Amino acid sequence: MPVTRMQSTGSKSQTMSDRTATVSRLEEVVSTPDEFDQVVLQALPILLDRATASTKRFLRETGQWNDDIEHEKFALRWGSEYLERFLICGRTEVPCRPLFLFDSLVAKQHSKPEPFCYHPDLLRPLGRFLDGLAARAVISRDALIALFHHAYGWGPGEVIAVTGLNGVESQRIYKNFRRWRESGWQRTMDEMGLTKTELAELGNQQQRHRQRFNSEAERLIRVAQAHYRKSEPDHYPCLSRSQWGEMFTQGYGCDYRIWHLALCLDCMQTAWGLGSSGSNVGEKPRLELQVRP
Amino acid sequence: MGQEEDLELYRSRLLESLNSRSSRFPQGVSDPIQVYVNERRVGELEGAGIGAMLQVQCVEHIDTVQLRTEEGVLLGGLAAPEHGFRTDRLRISTDAIELCVHNRAQGGTLSALFIPAPSFWGRAWKSIAEIGDRLVAHRPDTAPAYGMRMVAFTQVLLAIAVVGLVADRVPTWMPPERMPSPVVQTASLPASPPTETARLEQQLTEVARIQAKIGEALASQQNGIVQLHQAMAKLSSNQESMASGVVTVKEEVKEELEKRLEAIGRDADRATRHIASKGRVEQEQLEATIHTLTADNDRLSKEVAGLEEHNQTLKAKLQTTVVSTSKAVDPGPERLLKMADSIQATQQAPFLFWVTFSEGTSQESIDQWVNGMKGHKGVLNEGWQEVRIVPPPVPPDRFLEQIRGDKIIKAARINQ
Ligand SMILES: [Zn+2]
Ligand SMILES: [Zn+2]
């Protein structure tokens, strides 16, 4: 059973010959999606290690590697990201040889201009936390909406007011918040490899040196946002106040507002007060990082 | 050191979450499904919506399509071939999503269609008229002013055509005679005595039934073509190191394939014209055609399988084969869609114009007016209603003059 083998955590308990057999099975042609699933699910540890090694190699070759646990985690994280996409998309590529297909998928990822958001400071706990939030926001609407909370401490009502949403959209925001609190946040922390100790330490720093903590967070979140904004729909660019104003008053660009404002500190300042929060235009919002959901 | 343990723990946690992916699948989808092309979000599909559909046209080639829940769970997706088609049907409990990607030299298109569980269908067909509005409502926000590189759009007529074809290709949960016919639902019947109407309806049902069969046959041809594309792409990809020594592809295999594809094209054309010209169709003849098509398809698939087997030897020259075969193959789905159009409108290119209605005109009389012209409503934009009809017998200007004379019309124009 692949599961038992996996739960006994991986390479050490797996004998060499076992591994060789699995690898050679991966090299053979699979011809149906079911067969693909079966072969690939048995080989998850091998494939994860393979993608991780390849990511490490890429980082080394591009001068972004350092021999420490942060870099190891980074490579692992992206390895597993690639593997997840492979599990879903690979099965539509049958007939194929899974191992070669996987290698080419990883190679394709690494041939993109900026395959991931790499910055040495983003590898430390605070950076990893922010990178994780922004990366997740790209693939999860729950996480996207949660960014408003983590950056400014807002609840659903404030998010709705600030982005000027209508009734139907508002309901979704409440749902997004709820799911994020229930499971989304924890899952994101797990996937970023943030431990309880690290999260507690972040909370401590926040309490003891609030200002320094927030200004460091602002510096890092800008790096992450700039990278992940590239995956916005249609490449939504930053707008001027009058352009934002037009969008708010005419009521279009709902998605634009949500996506871009969540991922752009500057535009949040620019568009401040245009939503139905217009009446309580107080001070412009400042980054006030929240660690907990 | 604790660090190594920490890393090992992280690794096993990632593995665990990869392994338990499938158990995290939602029971059914009520929230919109996020659609990503090349890992960029392009829009969403209304999960609970009936016949919700998203059409995306990209300037770039489409490499991957991914569907995710709002939580970010990857529900499914596909890797698109460099050139040609790929379709995939993704099941989410009892619902399904049909994905179809077509890559061409000038970019790619994706259509994603939500197909609800069978119980939805009764309601679905009743509300097909509303689909238009709904699609418009779900059109992703686009802001044309800001130099976008990807355009997401939906089209009512196209959606209806595709809904029809897809529905016809889903025979498992509904016997064919109960299959609601898109033609009957969307084509408007002229006001006529009840018996006449009944007779017409019967004829239309018959046509729809035959259309379903042709749709199926064409779809399976399409499948053959998709397989062919896939096989070619696989063979030419650099998965294995090149065998030394150039081996020649048997030209006759290539030619034979092309001939056959051409023949398929001709048959499909013939069938289409046949339906278009006559309200009633000689079934045996058509069925015979369909049988030939199907048999052809089987043979094609076998040949594709044969090609697979010999991939080592065939590889060297396949690059060129891919190009020329795809060229021969290309018009397939366009033809499918056109056929659906022609059945609905007995005409290939619809005539498109925009109107606004006089104040206080009820939705009912608008619909009546559109129906009276055997038209379809398109999008509504700042009060202007897009309407598609069979091209009128008079020049466009004259035609506009004529409809401006209608009581409920306030203004009419050709361009948006
Ligand atoms: Zn901005
Ligand atoms: Zn093509």
Q: Mind giving me the DSSP string for chain A?
A: -HHHHHHTTGGGTS-HHHHHHHHHHHHS-B-SHHHHHHHHHTTHHHHHHHHHHHHHHHHHHTT---SSHHHHHHHHHHHHHHHHHHHHHGGGG-SB-HHHHHHHHHHHHHTSS--S---GGGGSHHHHHHHHHHHHHHH-HHHHHHHHHHHH---HHHHHHHHT--HHHHHHHHHHHHHIIIIIHHHHHHHTT--HHHHHHHHHHHHHSHHHHHHHHHHHHHHHHHHHGGGSGGGPPP--HHHHHHHHHHT--HHHHHHHHHT-HHHHHHTTT-SGGGGG--SPP-----S--
Flag residues of chain B having pLDDT under 70. Answer: 1, 22-29, 48-51, 118-349, 416
| Cα B64 to averaged position of ligand 2 atoms, centre (Å) | 17
Contact A89 B39 (CB under 8 A): no
Distance CA A144, CA A165 (A): 15
Q: pLDDT per residue over A231-257, tens digit each?
A: 876 668 899 999 999 999 988 888 899
Q: What is the mean pLDDT of residues A187-195?
A: 94
* Contacting residues of B for A235, CB less than 8 Å apart: 40, 148-150
Count of CB pairs separated by less than 8 Å, A with B: 165
Q: Which two tokens stand for residue A17?
A: 């010959």
Nearest alpha carbon to residue B164 among B200, B214, B103, B89: B214
- Averaged confidence pLDDT in chain A: 91
Q: What is the pTM of this model?
A: 0.60
| Domain-located, residue A85 | yes
Final residue belonging to a domain, choices A55, A86, A110? A110
CATH numeric code, B349-416: 3.30.70
Contact A193 B141 (CB under 8 A): no
Q: Which two tokens stand for residue B346?
A: 């007995």
Confidence class for position A169, pLDDT limits 50, 70, 90: confident
- The alpha carbon of residue A192 is apart from the nearest alpha carbon of chain B, in Å, by 9
Distance CA B298, CA B224 (A): 8
Question: Which of A83, A88, A94 should one mutate to test binding to chain B, selecting the residue with the greatest count of B CBs within 10 A?
Answer: A88
Same domain, A96 and A140: no
* Contacting residues of A for B12, CB less than 8 Å apart: 6-7, 9-10
Contact B72 A143 (CB under 8 A): yes
Contact A41 B19 (CB under 8 A): yes
Same domain, A91 and A153: no
Would you state the pLDDT for residue B221? Answer: 53
Instruction: Tell me if B109 sits within 8 A of B35, measured CB to CB.
Output: no
Would you state the pLDDT for residue A194? Answer: 95
Same domain, A94 and A226: no
| Domain-located, residue A278 | no
Would you state the pLDDT for residue B99? Answer: 93
Partner residue opposite A142 with nearest CB, options B36, B40, B71: B71
* Contacting residues of A for B228, CB less than 8 Å apart: none
Would you state the pLDDT for residue B29? Answer: 65
| Domain-located, residue A4 | no
Would you state the pLDDT for residue A137? Answer: 96
Same domain, A125 and A104: no
Would you state the pLDDT for residue B250? Answer: 34
Confidence class for position A288, pLDDT limits 50, 70, 90: very high
Distance CA B263, CA A23 (A): 44
Would you state the pLDDT for residue B8? Answer: 95
* Secondary structure (3-state) at B40: strand
| Cα A1 to averaged position of ligand 1 atoms, centre (Å) | 50
Q: Sign of the C-alpha dihedral, residues B134, B137, B141, B144?
A: positive
Same domain, A132 and A262: yes
Which chain A residue lies closest to B30 (C-alpha atoms)? A172
| Domain-located, residue A287 | no
Domain-by-domain residue ranges, chain B? 7-120, 129-253, 349-416
Nearest alpha carbon to residue A227 among A134, A143, A140, A123: A134
Nearest alpha carbon to residue B62 among B80, B35, B40: B80
Q: Total domain count for chain A?
A: 2
Contact B79 A90 (CB under 8 A): yes
Residues contacting A165, CB < 8 A, separation 6+: A159, A173, A254, A257, A258
Q: Which residues pair with B409 in a beta bridge?
A: B357
Same domain, A36 and A102: yes
The bridge status of strand B351-357 relative to strand B409-413 is antiparallel
Same domain, A166 and A27: no
Same domain, A206 and A234: yes
**Dihedral (Cα; B61, B64, B65, B70), 10-degree rounding:** -130
Would you state the pLDDT for residue A47? Answer: 97
* Secondary structure (3-state) at B142: coil
- Measured CA distances, A51 to A72, A79, B166, B269 (Å): 12, 5, 38, 48
| Cα B145 to averaged position of ligand 1 atoms, centre (Å) | 16
Q: Which amino acid is at A73?
A: K
For residue A285, is pLDDT > 70? yes
Q: Which amino acid is at A32?
A: T
| Cα B336 to averaged position of ligand 2 atoms, centre (Å) | 14
- The alpha carbon of residue B64 is apart from the nearest alpha carbon of chain A, in Å, by 8
Phi-psi region of A193 (alpha: psi -120 to 50; beta: other; left: phi over 0): left
Distance CA A243, CA A249 (A): 10
**Percentage above 90 pLDDT, chain A:** 80
Partner residue opposite A95 with nearest CB, options B75, B140, B234: B234
| Cα B149 to averaged position of ligand 1 atoms, centre (Å) | 18
* Secondary structure (3-state) at B81: coil
Question: Which of B15, B57, B134 should one mutate to test binding to chain A, selecting the residue with the greatest count of A CBs within 10 A?
Answer: B15
Would you state the pLDDT for residue A284? Answer: 87
Query: Across A19-28, A144-153, B68-77, B259-268, which has the greatest mean pLDDT?
Result: A144-153
Q: Which two tokens stand for residue B171?
A: 């025979």
Same domain, A179 and A266: yes
Partner residue opposite B77 with nearest CB, options A89, A100, A230: A89
Same domain, A130 and A97: no
Question: Which of B22, B41, B85 should one mutate to test binding to chain A, selecting the residue with the greatest count of A CBs within 10 A?
Answer: B41
Which residue is listed with tokens 């041939």? A111
Partner residue opposite A235 with nearest CB, options B149, B231, B234: B149
Would you state the pLDDT for residue A101? Answer: 95
Would you state the pLDDT for residue B133? Answer: 45
A76-90, A126-140, B129-143: which range is least confident on average?
B129-143
* Structural domain harbouring A90: 16-110
* Contacting residues of B for A231, CB less than 8 Å apart: 39-41
Same domain, A125 and A236: yes
Distance CA B23, CA B150 (A): 34
Would you state the pLDDT for residue B216? Answer: 59
Contact A231 B39 (CB under 8 A): yes
Which chain A residue lies closest to B21 (C-alpha atoms)? A84
Same domain, A218 and A144: yes
Contact A139 B72 (CB under 8 A): yes
Would you state the pLDDT for residue A281? Answer: 62
Would you state the pLDDT for residue B144? Answer: 32
Contact B31 A172 (CB under 8 A): yes
Long-range CB contacts for residues B190-197, cutoff 8 Å, separation at least 24: B190/B374
Distance CA B394, CA B309 (A): 58
- Measured CA distances, B69 to B30, B90, B92, B149, B171 (Å): 10, 14, 11, 25, 28
